[in-house]
């Protein structure tokens, strides 16, 4: 099983700031890495797939980068609605998720 480790566990920032979230895989997943956003009581929402492709309807302030074992999700300027939990997910083989990064308002 491929283990995904996300850091930090919690990120405290203010609206307008830049957020950088990391995801590290225990072995190479090529570019088969996705990012999801989840708000309390809601289902996950696909943001980024295959490391750097924005899903339909996702604002341009969300971007992804990386390949192999190290990946980054960047939110260029935080909006109030961006405060949520973010999960990375690999689909190189049986899919697994990271444990999540909680992005909270400072």
Partner 1 sequence: EVQLVESGGGLVQPGGSLRLSCAASGFTFSSYWMHWVRQAPGKGLVWVSRINSDGSSTSYADSVKGRFTISRDNAKNTLYLQMNSLRAEDTAVYYCARQYYAFLADYWGQGTLVTVSS
Give bridge partners of residue 21 from the DSSP assignment.
73
- By CB under 8 A, the residues from 59 to 98 that bind partner 1 are 87, 89, 91, 94-98
Is 34 a binding residue for partner 1 by CB under 8 A? The answer is: yes
Q: For the CB of residue 14, give the shortest distance to partner 1 in the complex, in Å.
A: 26
Is 56 a binding residue for partner 1 by CB under 8 A? The answer is: yes
User: Using CB under 8 A, which of the segments 8-16, 21-29, 37-45, 76-84 binds partner 1?
Assistant: 37-45
- Helix/strand/coil (H, E, C) string of 38-105? ECCCCCCEEEEECCCEECCCCCCCEEEEEECCEEEEEECCCCHHHCCEEEEEECCCCCEECCCEEEEE
User: Using CB under 8 A, which of the segments 7-15, 39-47, 60-68, 70-78 binds partner 1?
Assistant: 39-47
Is 9 a binding residue for partner 1 by CB under 8 A? The answer is: no
> Rounded to whole angstroms, how far apart are CA atoms 57 and 70?
25
Pairing of strands 19-25, 53-54: unpaired
Interface positions with partner 1 (CB under 8 A): 34, 36, 42-46, 49-50, 55-56, 87, 89, 91, 94-100
């Amino acid at each position: 099983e491929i283990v995904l480790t996300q850091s930090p566990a919690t990120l405290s920032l203010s609206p307008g700031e830049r957020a950088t979230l990391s995801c590290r895989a225990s072995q190479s997943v090529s570019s088969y890495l996705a990012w999801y956003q989840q708000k309390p009581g809601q289902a996950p929402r696909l943001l980024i797939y295959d490391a750097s492709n924005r899903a339909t309807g996702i604002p341009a302030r969300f971007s992804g980068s990386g390949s192999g074992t190290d990946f980054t999700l960047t939110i260029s300027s935080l909006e109030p609605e961006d405060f949520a939990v973010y999960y990375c997910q690999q689909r190189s083989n049986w899919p697994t998720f990271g444990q999540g990064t909680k992005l909270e308002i400072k």
